[in-house]
Structure 1
């Protein structure tokens, strides 16, 4: 059921935003199927599918998740937006730093071992590394800003630090006032999607047994899909 959203998209555009996958390939496949079915029943003029990052680590099949993201989006002709999460940043930094480094230790301590197991002995292929290296830090549409973790509400967008876009929790989560844009984010898990005047959080803990959530935005409404 659609409800009034705190933000608005341009006329004719529908956005499907997907929260933190964390190696849950089967859930991602199911949510993509739900998005395709939703569009087939209620087709629109334009579509964008936005993944908010944290595709890898902790869950059982990070390699399969990245394989899926290399494929076309679930809606034919849709714009595909892949944002970077802090886990992609950790993995890229660890691989660049090499064995026995602090960067590798940080990644492995935060679920990186599960990602390595999903590859077996072969390790991540160049296409997976290129996909992660090509991810953006944020994407904007209408009055929405899509980003992995959030932003520092005390800074304008042009002055945001990459560390905050990937990692921030406070003071962003409890910020009481409106921001320049409504921020759609993941990173901080909750039992259900959180809709506030300045943000919409859609990390519902897929890797911990919760659903993988998809947010559907159109005009000034929102609704949810899950798998």
Structure 2
């Protein structure tokens, strides 16, 4: 069987990697995770490092606006902080462009996102819905829209491939459809074969991080469980850890 097995997978020489799972509006969890990671970096003094966020910064949790503000600041302060797109982040952009009362944003946590911008989306009345959507579009800073539009869909370091949801088996990693990278589930989750690289992802909440031969899932549903999970990779060493709200 070709491909990379988790046990043999290595990060790039001289670069410590941190991959952080779905944040979903939990700004305090994200800030604490960064505090912990930076404390490790200061203590251990790795030659280089990257912090990779796996998407879904908005919806469901209480402070999506604060999460985006935090990430913009972190990425401006150091370009070794990376952020990938999740389906909820793309859904937020789509809602701002074309509000849909039956779409992902309105049905799965977007009302909490709007609330973090000081706007209550009214789904009960068509006129009030249009008015509240216009208010939300006005309330979202241009820098937030630019941040969301600028999110990449994947990153590769060493023997690891990072994305939000997963990959389509049988398609090479450099030819993956962005829609699959933010949306795929069963065909990826049920695939037992090895990939070209070990896939590190979120998107599908799990009670405990999943570590399989071909993938690692670090989505611990922070908005619900109170735990935000990360994977650290340093050469051949891999470890999972979490912060709790």
- Cα distance in 2 between the residues matched to 1:106 and 1:205: 17
- Cα distance in 2 between the residues matched to 1:129 and 1:78: 19
SS of the residue 1:171 aligns to: helix
2:33 pairs with 1:17: no
2:103 pairs with 1:105: yes
- Cα distance in 1 between the residues matched to 2:192 and 2:66: 39
Q: What do the CA deviations read for 1:170-227 (whole angstroms, capped 9, x no partner)?
A: 1211211111110000001111111111101100110112410111101011112311
Q: How many residues align?
A: 220
- Cα distance in 1 between the residues matched to 2:190 and 2:45: 36
Q: CA deviation at 1:105?
A: 3.3
Contact 2:88 / 2:104 at 8 angstroms: preserved in 1? no
Contact 2:168 / 2:187 at 8 angstroms: preserved in 1? yes
2:223 pairs with 1:225: no
Would the alpha carbon gap of residues 214 and 44 (structure 1) be closer, same or farther in structure 2, given more than 3 Å must change?
same
Contact 1:151 / 1:164 at 8 angstroms: preserved in 2? yes
Aligned partner (choices 47, 63, 70) of residue 61 of structure 1? 63
SS of the residue 1:93 aligns to: helix
Q: What do the CA deviations read for 1:18-68 (whole angstroms, capped 9, x no partner)?
A: 000000011111111110111122110011010000000000000000010
- Cα distance in 2 between the residues matched to 1:65 and 1:220: 31
- Cα distance in 2 between the residues matched to 1:34 and 1:212: 12
In the TM superposition, structure 1's runs of 4+ consecutive aligned residues that sit over 3 Å from their partners are none
Q: CA deviation at 1:129?
A: 0.8
Further displaced range: 158-167 or 83-92: 158-167
Equivalence for 2:82: 81
What is the CA RMSD across the aligned residues, in angstroms? 1.8
Query: Gaps spanning 5+ residues in structure 2: where?
Result: 1-5, 120-137
Q: CA deviation at 1:5?
A: 4.3
Q: What do the CA deviations read for 1:82-130 (whole angstroms, capped 9, x no partner)?
A: 1000001111111112x4x36x633110111100000014621111111
- Cα distance in 2 between the residues matched to 1:164 and 1:176: 18
Equivalence for 2:128: none
- Cα distance in 2 between the residues matched to 1:13 and 1:107: 36
